[in-house]
Amino acid sequence: MTHYMKAKIAVAAFIILTTLALPTQAQDAASQNKAYTGAQASDKTYKVIYQLDSGSPDVINKAIRNIGNLLNDPRLSGKLKVELVAFSGGTEAFRKGSEYEQGIKGLLERGVRIVQCLNTLKERKIEKSELYDFLAYTPSGNGELVIRAEEGWTIIKP
Amino acid sequence: MTHYMKAKIAVAAFIILTTLALPTQAQDAASQNKAYTGAQASDKTYKVIYQLDSGSPDVINKAIRNIGNLLNDPRLSGKLKVELVAFSGGTEAFRKGSEYEQGIKGLLERGVRIVQCLNTLKERKIEKSELYDFLAYTPSGNGELVIRAEEGWTIIKP
Amino acid sequence: MTHYMKAKIAVAAFIILTTLALPTQAQDAASQNKAYTGAQASDKTYKVIYQLDSGSPDVINKAIRNIGNLLNDPRLSGKLKVELVAFSGGTEAFRKGSEYEQGIKGLLERGVRIVQCLNTLKERKIEKSELYDFLAYTPSGNGELVIRAEEGWTIIKP
């Protein structure tokens, strides 16, 4: 909070100083931009579905980190419902013994629903026994995204 | 259906067994997750716009496969309206004689609207005659996404 | 306008000709597709948040170009509110002296809000002094996307 107050005083000082200096239009744009401190969460619930469709370690690690950061965002504390759906290459994140196991289990324990596309298993000839035992399955990852979006969920693709 | 029933019995058995074993919180999370079988489609119509903005063969093939899987999802049968808009590198998917021609024509015949961004043609000096004759054109791919989203369409980026 | 009329006449001629030729179902799909000229913007305001989470020069340049094209789309003239939020590798677009400085400042001057995720600064040990002075900051980029989407903004990931 103290940190926020300091930030607000700094922003106010910045606005006063730039105003005194008779700002050009560009300075106006800059000072208006600088004064913004992020959107405010006024709703009760925020539902988010993460799309994981790449087997790239960068993307999988980003997805795990992104969801963690979302769950830690003070604006959304206690307001989130999160689902992670993997399909295509993203299924690599759900392999037993993979480097992602701890990260994915950490999300599960924080209440994130962890869902795998059944189409991908058919296309890539992957057995359920190769994947974590706790997974949920959905007929298609794309169908899951579309139905969730229609229900008001936000899709994020890391 | 028999497959679904078996799955449901298996899930029920799993829940009973884990309950008898006095589950820890982690086991609770796992069994609750496992019981989920995908979102249910209760609406009449689902409108989806696919964003194809990469020339990577992996991404283009994934897009074609994704849309096919969506159209085959039993939950959404007869309820879908789908548009595919290409811009930036994604325009490669629409070149006459490309390896994607059959896949894209297959989508067209299944009722998918196939749309190309006009800005990209200008930026990359591509003539319409280099692209499939059946294409629709929109002033900008990004504008198309934004207007469709405001109309209630879901954006998916493969 | 004359250009549009010509296009419409061409489309009408195309439809008449293909009709006279007793079209197969495939020709029907083609002519219906070809007749589409892009979605129409009937709303007053369109709010769009761009997600920039990659340090790849291709992606950063695409994002800058995408937003420019959106702002130039005649259908959306005077109706747009745009925010660009960077996190993860996307923060590279906001480094003082980077090759992107002119492009990002151009967007700022056209009214685009330019926002950086604070989590990324912590994770990557980046100081605010390394980034443009005019930036706005948000607690988390993912939280920003989710709150904006809930407020009715469209997310686009270039």
Render pLDDT for C87-132 as a digit per residue (tens, 0 to 9).
Answer: 999 999 999 999 999 999 999 999 999 999 999 999 999 999 999 9
Written as six digits, the tokens of A46 are 């925020």
Calculated CA dihedral for residues B58, B62, B64, B70, nearest 10 degrees: 180
Chain C residues with CB under 8 Å of B151 CB are 39
Write down the pLDDT at residue C17. Answer: 55
Substitution target in C66, C72, C77 with the highest count of B β-carbons within 10 Å is C66
Q: pLDDT digits over B16-48, tens only?
A: 555 555 457 888 999 999 999 999 999 999 999
Are B37 and B24 spatial neighbours (Cβ–Cβ below 8 Å)? no
Identify all chain B residues contacting A111, using CB atoms and an 8 Å cutoff: 29
Q: Above pLDDT 70, what percent of chain A? A: 87
Which residues of chain B does C35 touch, with a Cβ-Cβ cutoff of 8 Å?
Answer: 136
Let me know: does A26 contact A34? Beta carbons within 8 Å: no
Q: What is the separation of C-alpha B57 from the centre of its chain, rounded to a whole number of angstroms? A: 17
The model's pTM:
0.86
C115 versus A5: which is more confidently predicted?
C115
CA distance A135 to A124: 17
pLDDT tens column, B2-24: 666 776 676 666 665 555 554 57
List all residues 6 or more positions away from A52 whose beta carbon is below 8 Å from its beta carbon: A59, A60, A63, A84, A85, A86, A87, A90, A93, A158
The pLDDT-based confidence of A139 (bands split at 50, 70, 90) is very high
Between CA A80 and CA A82 the distance in angstroms is 6
Query: Is B134 within 8 Å of C29 when comparing Cβ atoms?
Result: yes
Bridge partner residues of A154 (DSSP): A48
Tens digit of each residue's pLDDT (9 = 90 or more) over B121-155: 999 999 999 999 999 999 999 999 999 999 999 99
Cross-sheet strand order for the sheet of C113-117:
C136-138, C113-117, C80-86, C46-52, C154-156
Chain A closest CA to B44's CA: distance in Å? 11
Q: Which of C27, C80, C156, C157 to probe by mutation at the B interface, max B CB count within 10 Å? A: C156
Query: What is residue A88's predicted lDDT score, i.e. its pLDDT?
Result: 98
* Strand, helix or coil for residue B39: coil
Contact (Cβ atoms closer than 8 angstroms) between residue C122 and residue C86: no
**Chain centroid offset of residue B25 CA:** 35
Report CB contact under 8 Å: A154, C157.
no
Contacting C with CB below 8 Å, chain A residues are 25-26, 29-31, 33-41, 43, 46, 48, 62, 65-67, 69-70, 72-76, 80, 154-158
- Within B1-158, strands assigned E span 46-52, 80-86, 113-117, 136-138, 154-156
Helix ranges (DSSP H) in C21-100: 25-34, 57-72
- Cβ of C69 and B134 within 8 Å? no
- Starting at the earlier edge strand, list the strands of the sheet with B154-156: B136-138, B113-117, B80-86, B46-52, B154-156
pLDDT in tens, A51-76: 999 999 999 999 999 999 999 999 99
Residues of chain C short of pLDDT 50, as ranges, are 22
Confidence of residue A6 (pLDDT cuts 50, 70, 90): confident
> Nearest CA to CA, how far is B27 from chain C (Å)?
28
**Alpha-carbon span B142 to C69, nearest angstrom:** 7
Separation CA C134–CA A3 (nearest Å): 19
Residues 6+ apart with CB under 8 A from C80: B146, C45, C46, C47, C48, C70, C71
CA distances from B1 to A118, B4, B5, B6, B7 (A): 15, 5, 6, 9, 10
Tell me the pLDDT of chain A averaged across its residues: 92
Taking CB atoms and an 8 Å cutoff, what residues of chain A touch B35? 136
Neighboring chains of A (3 or more beta-carbon pairs < 8 A):
B, C
Model confidence at A9, in pLDDT bands (50, 70, 90)?
confident
**Residue of chain C nearest A31, judged by CA positions:** C134
Q: Band of the pLDDT at A128, cuts 50, 70, 90?
A: very high
Contacts of A31 in chain C (CB under 8 A): 134
Percent with pLDDT over 90 in chain C: 83
Name the residue of chain C whose CA is nearest to B85's CA. Answer: C38
Q: Count Cβ–Cβ pairs < 8 Å, chain A vs chain B.
A: 96
How long, in residues, is chain A?
A: 158
C29–B115 CB contact, under 8 Å: no
pLDDT value of residue B25: 80
* Distance to chain B for C23, nearest Cα, Å: 13
Query: What's the pLDDT at C23?
Result: 56
Burial call A98-107: b when 16+ CB within 10 Å, e when fewer:
bebeebbbeb
- What six digits make up the tokens of A58? 């960068």
Do C104 and C132 meet the contact criterion of CB atoms below 8 Å apart?
Answer: yes
